[in-house]
Structure 1
């Protein structure tokens, strides 16, 4: 079986002025991590899926769990497109090095 890996890149901007808003932010961030998302930058997370259909189905679930305030944007990219991301300032994070090294050696 051939997999056409797709990634969801999720960008979010949530208010953090009050204690309640900060709690909502933390809970949403925990939700993303518990559901397999990896932080790329502050408020930018990504997750890999085996195909586009699985990613689209996940977006439906995700929509039910987003906070009422703030903005969330989702972008779908193929694994080929994602692999061409260039990190201009600094190097790869430790988390990226581990994922890159371990993810595809097992396939």
Structure 2
């Protein structure tokens, strides 16, 4: 059964999944495992918010459970991975602040040759 359009696009049905991780990168094999995990998330349709925080919109709890199961199968041997799932309605209250420059940027001074 296909849900009606109103249910399909409900802010309570659509879910955002955020994956954050802290993986060791001291050894070459650890760096490869961390890179492979990041690339796996990108291949699964996640977008990078920060270097170790990725997010993706999913269609409902079943899709989120399936994605979580696939992520669990691809976990690196060491490190910590956190998965957070929230509704689109909850996500709409997110606020993003980017750095700002104080005052006007300085212009370079006149070049002086001796």
**TM-score between both structures, scaled by the size of structure 1:** 0.79
1:11 to 20, 40, 53: 20
Structure 1: runs of 5+ lacking an equivalent:
92-107
Shift of 1:46: 0.6
Runs of 4+ in structure 1 displaced over 6 angstroms? none
**Which secondary structure state, in structure 2, belongs to the residue aligned with residue 27 of structure 1?**
helix
The 5 Å alignment of 1:1-107 reads 1=4, 2-3=7-8, 4-90=13-99
When the two chains are superposed, the root-mean-square deviation of aligned CA atoms in Å is 1.4
Return the alpha-carbon distance in structure 2 between the equivalents of residues 9 and 70 of structure 1: 17
Aligned pairs, number: 91
- TM-score where L is the length of structure 2: 0.75
Q: Return the alpha-carbon distance in structure 1 between the equivalents of residues 36 and 58 of structure 2.
A: 23
Distance 1:40 1:84 in 2: 16
Q: What runs of 5+ residues in structure 2 fail to find an aligned partner?
A: 101-114
Structure having the larger proportion of residues in helix: 1
